[in-house]
Amino acid sequence: MQQMQLTVQQVEEANQKAEEREDKTCMIYFDDYSLKHMKRMYESGQSLRQIADSAHCSYNTVRRILIKEGVVMRPKTKRETPYNKHMIINDWNADVDTDRICRVHKLTKNSLYQALWRWRKEGLNVKRRQER
């Protein structure tokens, strides 16, 4: 990952320029080169978080700047569940112990309950049961 290195003097100058501008939402001023660099990083597939880390500013600052520069944001991707939901549902409906389900499928109880709730909402046959 490429780093944008700012010296203390550059940051102080940038903050001085930012104070003179009307838009005071961000105290760090990015020159045209830095903005183009951020755009290239985002368009090459780096995340907003990675760009923010390399620019030493917040995720929201990078997001706001890129949107202001006309960059189209990628849609947030939904993470796939790393486990077989039908096996978990079968175990759950067969009254297999919750701790055992968590141990076999490498889940926490909280993530198991969230997944079961989500699947029930999706219309899958997940029975309700009282925890012992």
44, two tokens = 């090459």
- 80-104 confidence digits (pLDDT tens): 555 688 899 999 999 999 999 998 8
Domain edges within the chain: 8-68, 78-132
What pTM did the predictor assign?
A: 0.42
Per-residue pLDDT tens over the stretch 7-40 = 667 666 766 666 665 554 454 566 666 788 888 8
DSSP state of 1: -
* CATH no. for 8-68: 1.10.10
By residue count, the chain amounts to: 132
Of residues 81 and 60, which shows the higher confidence score? 60
* 1 pLDDT more than 50: no
Q: Which long-range contacts (CB under 8 A, 24 or more apart) does 104-111 make?
A: 107/83
pLDDT in tens, 102-125: 988 888 899 899 989 999 999 999
C-beta separation of 50 from 66 below 8 A: no
Q: Per the structure block, which two tokens stand in for 112? A: 């198991």
